[in-house]
Amino acid sequence: QKEVEQNSGPLSVPEGAIASLNCTYSDRGSQSFFWYRQYSGKSPELIMFIYSNGDKEDGRFTAQLNKASQYVSLLIRDSQPSDSATYLCAVIRYGNKLVFGAGTILRVKS
Amino acid sequence: DGGITQSPKYLFRKEGQNVTLSCEQNLNHDAMYWYRQDPGQGLRLIYYSQIVNDFQKGDIAEGYSVSREKKESFPLTVTSAQKNPTAFYLCASRDGNTGELFFGEGSRLTVL
């Protein structure tokens, strides 16, 4: 079982729709959770981080964490073509080891 | 400006040669990381260091070596023992308060 799992996609949504990206992790001791966006050929950039159960909102983005289910998600409202990228879920494990999922490709069609 | 600087951006190597990728940060972060990314894949952890003069193997350390003699610097050597070294290499440092990783622009290594 991979430490951090994501559906590789591609996930295709029309412009203006809500995109829902999901991530599960295997280590119950994981403490911090991050969503990064990566455009082709570029380095990842942070979108959001979340530490506590529940929702955290920042503009068009909402991160949701459920530690009991070992599940973290990212919702993107009013999706724009510029949101088309690969979204990486990352988890900090014990010992400050930061592990990434393989990423989900998002395509927003205008 | 504060940030992570990786060099070179592009590098070509002949089989059997060692090559060293540079990573420098001026963010005063203690922890630094090296990841490898293959086309269409996520980031795989090679090595990480939480403090000067200390580092730990990640998931794919074989064929790689690192050093951490200074807080600002965390160079990665890709040795001839690495069977498939062609990849995109990313260095990062971590904010100890938020946990956020700050990435360099990456180094793209091609073995001819």
- The pLDDT tens digits for A35-89 are 999 999 899 999 999 999 999 999 999 999 999 999 999 999 999 999 999 999 9
A32 touches chain B (CB under 8 A): yes
- pLDDT for A2 equals 80
- Nearest CA-CA distance, residue B88 and chain A, Å: 9
B79 touches chain A (CB under 8 A): no
pLDDT at B30 over 80: yes
Range of lowest pLDDT (B17-21, B46-50, B87-91, B99-103) = B99-103
- pLDDT for B1 equals 62
Which residues, in sequence order, are bridge partners of residue B47? Answer: B34, B57
Spatial contact of B51 and B69, defined as CB atoms under 8 Å apart: no
A-B CB pairs within 8 A amount to 54
B97 touches chain A (CB under 8 A): no
Spatial contact of B91 and B74, defined as CB atoms under 8 Å apart: yes
Q: In this complex, do A96 and B100 lie within 8 Å of one another by their Cβ atoms? A: no
- pLDDT for A38 equals 95
pLDDT at A94 over 80: no
pLDDT at B27 over 70: yes
Q: How does residue B42 score in pLDDT terms, banded at 50, 70 and 90? A: confident
Record the tokens describing residue A88, joined without a space.
Answer: 């990486």
A102 touches chain B (CB under 8 A): yes
pLDDT at B8 over 90: yes
- pLDDT for A95 equals 75
B44 touches chain A (CB under 8 A): yes
Whole-Å CA distances, B19 to A45, A54, A64, B57, B91: 27, 45, 42, 19, 15
What is d(CA A62, CA A58) in angstroms, rounded to the nearest whole number?
Answer: 6
Q: What are B54-103's pLDDT values in tens digits?
A: 999 999 999 999 999 999 999 999 998 888 999 999 999 999 888 888 99
Write the secondary structure of chain A as one string of H (helix), E (strand) and C (coil). Answer: CCCEEECCCCEEEECCCCEEEEEEECCCCCCEEEEEEECCCCCCEEEEEECCCEEEEECCEEEEEECCCCEEEEEECCCCHHHCEEEEEEEEECCCEEEECCCEEEEEEC
Spatial contact of A53 and A63, defined as CB atoms under 8 Å apart: no
CA distance from start to end of chain A: 37
Q: What is the mean pLDDT of residues A8-13?
A: 93
- What value does the mean pLDDT of chain A take? 94
Per the document, the length of chain A is 110
Spatial contact of B30 and B71, defined as CB atoms under 8 Å apart: yes
Spatial contact of A17 and A79, defined as CB atoms under 8 Å apart: yes
Q: What is the mean pLDDT of residues A14-29?
A: 95
pLDDT at B24 over 70: yes
What is d(CA B87, CA A77) in angstroms, rounded to the nearest whole number?
Answer: 34
- Nearest CA-CA distance, residue A43 and chain B, Å: 5
Query: Environment class of residue A94 by beta-carbon count within 10 Å: exposed (0-12), middle (13-18) or buried (19+)?
Result: exposed
Write the secondary structure of B91-108 as one string of H (helix), E (strand) and C (coil). Answer: EEEECCCCCCEEECCCEE
Q: How does residue B31 score in pLDDT terms, banded at 50, 70 and 90? A: very high
What is d(CA B36, CA A5) in angstroms, rounded to the nearest whole number?
Answer: 17
Cβ contacts (< 8 Å) between B48 and chain A: which residues?
A: 96-98
Record the tokens describing residue B52, joined without a space.
Answer: 């000067």
